[in-house]
Structure 1
Amino acid sequence: MKFLHTADWHVGKTLKGRSRLDEQRAVIGQIVGYAREHQIDAVLIAGDLYDSSAPTADAQQLVVQALLALRDTGAKVLAIAGNHDSAATFDAYRPLLDAVDITLVGRVRPAARGGVVSFDARSTGERVNVAVLPFLSQRYAVRAAQLVASTPSEMSRDYDAMVREVIDSLAAGFTPDAVSVMMAHLTVVGGTFGGGERAAQSIFEYHVPAVAFPAHAHYVALGHLHRRQTLPAPAPVVYSGAPFAVDFGEQDNTSVVCLVQASPSTPATITDLPITAGRRLRTVHGTAAEIVGRAEEFGDDFLRVIIREPARAGLREEITDVLPNALEVRIDTEFALSITNQAARTDHRDRSPAELFGDFCAARGVADERVQSLFERLHDELTSTGRE
């Protein structure tokens, strides 16, 4: 049987105030196209469908349309809540989506009560068991008293033990002569962050090792870390990664969806299908003139611009007037630091207001004579004896 593994859609994500719904719609459309092209038996979405636990109506509409479009390809659709999703909302909508053969799981469930989802693959008739483990935060896995009284190493050990117990319980729901898959949203030790994860919910102290997953599973479909990677373990333990760069920390990631083929008697094979629909994120360095001169090179990429010259009035506008997709414009930290350090060494005693203001600007990397002139004019107006 064949299934697609994807995760970390983060629908509703904005970047520096820019909506990315059109991008996300195109990316998901490409995933739907792969499901149709390869006649997929199931689509597994391993959490973080949304970027927020309170998504906008437009974001919710896009996700619902995506789930229905995937269902319309003939595939069984299963999705679990990630740390960005609302587990309670997923479970509230579960009965409604069950009616159209789409399975949402918000909270951890026992195997016999929805923790293992079983179905027959449409293409082969093979039995498939998918154990589902939504995001399980440490505050639910480790009792509050332990969080207060335990050391970090003790809490890590307790979290590991609790999650292993859940995994073992779910794996007990696997049946012989079936394709056995586990889908989870969590941090696995040794995994590499993709760059855009929420650090407070990905901290290293709360993780499980890859060997915690059952060796007899044909495949372990993971979400949470945004970089495509396979971790060493007896079973294939795989992060599909995010299908588009969530922020500039992910600009060098390769976006894919995983096509997995398996049978009850053969190990899984994995093929990465490229996702090309999202806009490229790029960080560019140089003087304002150098970067503006490269405008044609950047196309419709979203840009983070690092300026290697002193700050001055109108600098940002000079960039954004030519490059409207420059979402962030800032001074190179090393360059700004050298100015700040130089200003810090200045003796401020017995200096005029204009000189002190000059020091203030220098300490912040602002070197613009027009700003200094404006300050002096305003100061003269405010201190003039003729002012009413």
Structure 2
Amino acid sequence: MLILHTSDWHLGRSFHGTGMLQAQREVLDQMVDTVRERGVDLVLVAGDVYDRALPAADAVELLDAALADLVSAGARVVLTSGNHDSAIRLGFGGHLMGAAGVHVRTRMDGISTPVVFPDPEGGSVAVYGIPYLEPRHAGQVWDVEPNHPAVTAEAVRRIRQDAAERCGGPAGDTAIVVMAHLFAAGGAGSDSERDIGAERPAESETGDLLVGTLGQVPVTAFDGVDYTALGHLHGRQLMAETVRYSGSPLAYSFSEAGHTKGGWLVRTAGGRVTGVESVDFSAGRKLAVLRGRIDELLEGTEHAWAEDRWCQITVTDPVRPPQAYRRLKERFDGLLNFVLDPEGAPATAPSTYAARLAAATTDLQVCTGFVEHVRQRPATASEADLLASALQDSRRRADQGEGSAA
């Protein structure tokens, strides 16, 4: 059997205010092509299918179309809920979808009930789905410590127990695959993984609102499992030979500019994993992270490669250049994140606006100090002249008004 391990689709997500639905559609089409061209039998989606618990209608439509296309291409699908998903909403219709080849695992009480597939190469494959577990809720239900290592260990214990009963004796030719959405100890994170506890309450199977944080789970929790397909971290990475993150299929932060996006192709035969290889995806605009003084960024040919990419640009001039964003945007129309990080800036200016006000001795210094505080550079001579003229005119009008009132 050939299995495609993916995760963290985050359908409906935006990137610095820019919609990503078209890029997500493109990368899902590439997955469908991979299924068709490589003869993939099973696709795993290890959580964070959507970017939020209440996905927009166009994100729901995209998932519906993608699942239909994957099944039409010849694959069956198993997906679990992540910390961005609503387990209840994602799991709606799961029983019906299972009959069509799409198996949804979002409930705690289904953790020890695998989806078993006959392996074309002999034996079978049992896929156990561990949805995102909110520690306080899961700990209370299972009477274990309310933290991620403890509730994950209990989930895996239940899986091992079922697998021993199911796969012992003559059924011992079954490969055990576990899907889980969590932060494995030693994993490399990125800026786009958000802790659900900091964003919104988690939702239990009873509809109760809960708050939790993502703790780190030791990789050894999955010892003895033939393959563990992890989700949550957005970089594709090897935690152990049999424990891997597929990463997200698209970059969702500039910290992922150096990532190669894709997933893992896992081959099984006769009840064991016989090989794992990477598969790459490429969709949407690529990313560029640039840093330097504005003249170098605007005039240097060495930055031409970034002109058609989404860009994060850090300007390091000691004093903020005039109209820096507009000028950079003319060359790099994909500029999404502008950062000012002055290098060698003079340390003589007051560090706060209050200190700047206290140091001002004239009305003009108050005005030019405000300009410098907002723009992070001193007012130019022409700006100072305009402010001085405006102050003089306001005084003249005030004097005229007082005279007429007398």
TM-score (norm 2): 0.82
User: Partner of 2:190 in structure 1?
Assistant: 194
Distance 1:12 1:311 in 2: 35
Match of 1:37 in 2: 37
> In 2 relative to 1, CA 348–66 (structure 1 residues): closer, same or farther, beyond 3 Å?
same
Matches for 1:282-301 after TM superposition, within 5 Å? 282-293=288-299, 294=301, 296-301=304-309
The answer as to whether partners of 2:133 and 2:148 remain within 8 angstroms in 1 is: no
Which 5+ residue runs of structure 1 have no aligned equivalent? 147-153
Cα distance in 2 for partners of 1:271, 1:371 equals: 61
Runs of 4 or more above 6 Å deviation: 202-205
For structure 2, the residue ranges without an aligned partner over 5 or more in a row are 199-211, 402-406
- Read off the aligned partner of 1:242 and give its amino acid letter: S
Aligned equivalent of 1:160, options 149, 159, 168: 149
Q: Root-mean-square deviation (CA), in Å?
A: 2.8
CA distance in 2, matches of 1:318, 1:189: 44
Which amino acid counterpart does residue 369 of structure 2 have in structure 1? D
Change (3 A) 1:350 1:37: closer
Distance apart, 1:82 and its partner CA: 0.7
Residue 134 of structure 1: how far off its partner (Å): 0.7
Larger Rg: 2
* 2:404 paired residue number: none
CA distance in 1, matches of 2:181, 2:138: 14
- Render the CA deviation track for 1:35-77: whole Å, top value 9, x for unaligned: 1111111000101111121211111111111111111111110
- Quote the residue 1:15 is aligned against: 15
1:149-198 CA-partner distances (Å, limit 9, x unpaired): xxxxx967x44222211111123222221121000101111111133211
Task: Write the deviation string for residues 220-260 of structure 1: whole angstroms up to 9, x where unpaired.
Answer: 0000011111113xx60111111121111211122121001
Q: Give, in whole Å, the separation in 1 of the partners of 2:342 and 2:63.
A: 39
The residue number in structure 2 matching 1:71 is: 71
| Residue in 2 that maps onto 1:150 | none
The partner residue of 1:119 within 107, 117, 120 is 117
Q: Is the 8 A contact 1:320 1:326 kept in 2?
A: yes
Change (3 A) 1:373 1:177: farther
1:65-214 matches, within 5 Å, as 65-111=65-111, 115-121=113-119, 123-124=120-121, 126-143=123-140, 158-174=147-163, 175=167, 176-199=172-195, 206-214=215-223
1:273-298 deviation digits (Å, cap 9, x = unpaired): 11122321111112333223356422
Decide whether aligned partners of structure 1 residues 331 and 313 sit closer, same or farther in structure 2, where only a CA change above 3 A counts.
Answer: same
Structure 1 residue 13 displacement after superposition: 1.4
* Contact 1:262/1:269 (<8 A) preserved: yes
In structure 2, the residue corresponding to 1:164 is in which secondary structure?
A: helix
CA contact (8 A) 1:256 1:272 kept: yes
Aligned positions, number:
371
Pair 372,330 (structure 1): closer, same or farther in 2 beyond 3 Å: farther
| Partner residue in 2 for 1:319 | 328
Q: Secondary structure at the match of 1:221?
A: strand
Which of 213, 221, 236 matches 1:228?
236
- 1:266, distance to aligned residue in structure 2 (A): 4.0
Equivalent residue, structure 1, for 2:311: 303
Mapped to 2, the partners of 1:155 and 1:357 lie a distance apart of: 59
CA distance in 2, matches of 1:258, 1:342: 54
Cα distance in 2 for residues equivalent to 1:261 and 1:70: 18
Counterpart AA for 1:2: L
Q: CA 1:349/1:366 → structure 2, altered by over 3 Å: closer, same or farther?
A: closer
CA distance in 2, matches of 1:357, 1:340: 20
| Of 19-28 and 166-175, the range deviating more from structure 2 | 166-175
Tell me what 1:342 maps to. Answer: 349
Which residue in the other structure is 1:353 paired with? Answer: 363
8 Å CA contact 1:343–1:363 kept in 2: the answer is: no
**Which letter does structure 1 place at the counterpart of 2:378?**
A
Letter of the 1:332 partner, please give it. Answer: D
Q: Is the 8 A contact 1:2 1:41 kept in 2?
A: yes
Moved more, 97-106 or 75-84: 97-106
1:354–1:76 distance in 2 versus 1, CA, 3 Å: same
In structure 2, what is the Cα distance between the partners aligned to 1:375 and 1:358? 8
Offset at residue 381 of structure 1 (A): 4.4
> 2:136 & 2:315 partners in 1: Cα distance?
43
The answer for the alignment partner of 2:276 in structure 1 is 270
Shift of 1:374: 4.7
> Cα 1:171–1:272, aligned 2, differ >3 Å: closer, same or farther?
same
Secondary structure (helix, strand or coil) at the match of 1:342 reads coil
AA of the residue aligned to 1:130: V
Quick one: distance in 2 between partners of 1:139 and 1:316? 46
Matched-pair identity in %: 27
